[in-house]
Amino acid sequence: MRTKSFLLLVVLFFVSCQTKIQPRSPKLVVGIVVDQMRMDYLTRFQNHYGSAGFKRFYNQGFIAKNHHFDYAQTKTAPGHASIATGTPPAIHGIIGNDWFNKASNTNQYCVYDNTYAGVGTDTYEGKKAPTQLLVSTFSDEIRLATQLRGKAIGISIKDRAAILSVGHSANGAYWFSGKDAGNFVSSTFYMQQLPAWAQDFNDSRVIDRYLTAWNTLYPIDQYVESGPDNTVYERIPKGKQTPTFPYDLKELFKINNGYSVLEATPFGNSLSTDFALAAIAGEELGMDADSDVLMLSYSSTDYVGHNFGVNSIELQDTYIRLDKDLARLFSALDKQVGKKGYTVFLTADHGVAHVPQFLLDNRLPAGYFDKKSFTDNLKKAVSFRFGIEDLILNISNNEVYINHKIVADKGLDAAIVKNFIVSEIRTHQDIAEVYSTTELMHMDSHNPLVQRLQRGHQSKRSGDIVFTLLPGYLSNGTQGIKGTTHGSAYTYDTHVPFMMFGSGVQKGSTYERTNITDIAPTITALLGVSNPSGTIGNPIGKALIPH
């Protein structure tokens, strides 16, 4: 019996050894983040898209049609950080593009770090690093899983997008330095000098071919999905009398900060694609057995959207041209890596609201929040109530920061101060909700808006009181009724695309709700590596071919 049992164990051992663990695939993950892309841009402009760009996801891949941000701060930096880490600002720490630093009483930009210097630039634009990001990214985890043999590259017009999308251990993050330079640059956090392929790209002056006239790609009367070319809702570029085509970029060059003029045109996206193609070739991405990552953020859609709004022909033309840039990118990947060698996902860092005045003129609820008047009146009311100046340190990102030193020195009860401020804010006609953050973190999280506010609260960086504006309301700033923005917990800011195609991806779609924090664990599940250190999301199983 012992001999038979031993033989059985030996047989089972050798049978188990024959069971192969599926190797990692794909060889390259390409993450595309389209800045400020609402989900409805896919359907609204679909008749103008070709088969090789956005529609390739529909024809070959998986579409999550009810994909949302699950926190309130729908801005560029938190968006890229959440996509990369699988967790909200409450955990990864990037609570805004910038925020009030309570320790130093100064403004903190999300990726500013003056302990590092620029590479390819001598300006402050290079003093950047991911040191404010408190957790790892999926790129970091892929790098760790491959003993740092797998490469990770981040590219964007915006520094915060390039840096936060790849994180700490990346081989390089590159962003655009406009004005007189017109180069892609980096930071000594990542490297001491630009690699030869990046320097060659800058030296080639490919950028100069985009200093041309921006006109509509197709006859303008075909843009029936958008409003008139000239409306009162659009910001007028310096040097133009009206916000109308064509835009002569050579003529507008000097008066609009030199090469920075390209950022708010579709050519900024084309330039980013050119640089990405140079990176794919120069870094030989996807050319060995260890999985690489390329994170490419298209920022020009955001600049155009802010300036001209959701209903503009400028925005529509930008997406039509982006569709062609995507087709160009995918074609190059097919040739270099092979159609079965890479996986692409596409999402956005946030959506955007319609221009409020446009909504008002069409009898829809909307309006403008006068932040300056609100701030002045609130500070006066608090000073009058407690007989003390400067009890409010800062109001930013719809959060109020209390001066706790003065509260302690004067022997005030912090809870009473907070409750007064909350009650005062609640009387404002443009405010939807207002909470002391102490109260907020004890509230029932089954309320979706409450949950999104909770997931955005980071105790060391966030304020003492948080408020939300009514739906459709924006802070009027200095632009009046022109242009638009984002940053709320409402659907127009939270509903964005999530699409995949390529190696390991199953064709299909879902209307089940998925969240932005589900992207990172979906990618790590695809590759069989560990989740980022702060991940709370779950893999979108329907998107992946079962192993």
Any idea which residues carry the catalytic annotation? 76
Residues 195, 197, 203: CA angle, nearest 5 degrees: 105
Q: With H, G, I as helix, E, B as strand and everything else as coil, classify residue 291.
A: coil
Beta-sheet strands, E only, within 411-526: 431-436, 465-469, 473-475, 498-502, 508-510, 514-515
- Give the pairing type, strands 106-109 and 118-119: unpaired
Phi first, then psi: what are they for 502, rounded to 5°? 120, -160
Distance CA 405, CA 416 (A): 15
Distance CA 302, CA 145 (A): 34
Torsion of CA 170, 102, 97, 483, to 10 degrees: -170
CB 127 within 8 A of CB 116: yes
Q: Which two tokens stand for residue 393?
A: 């340190």
CB 504 within 8 A of CB 25: yes
Give the Å distances, CA to CA, from 346 to 31, 37, 175, 317.
6, 10, 19, 19
* H/E element, 111: none
* Chain position carrying tokens 């699950």: 70
User: Measuring CA to CA, which residue among 452, 440, 394 is closest to residue 89?
Assistant: 452
DSSP per residue, 124-188:
GGG-B-STT--S--HHHHHHHHTTT-S-EEEEESSHHHHHHTT-SS-SEEEEEETBTT-EEEEET
The neighbouring-strand residues paired with 399 are 396, 466
Give the Å distances, CA to CA, from 313 to 108, 132, 199, 247.
36, 38, 35, 13
Q: Is 209 exposed, middle or buried (0-12, 13-18, 19+ CB in 10 A)?
A: exposed
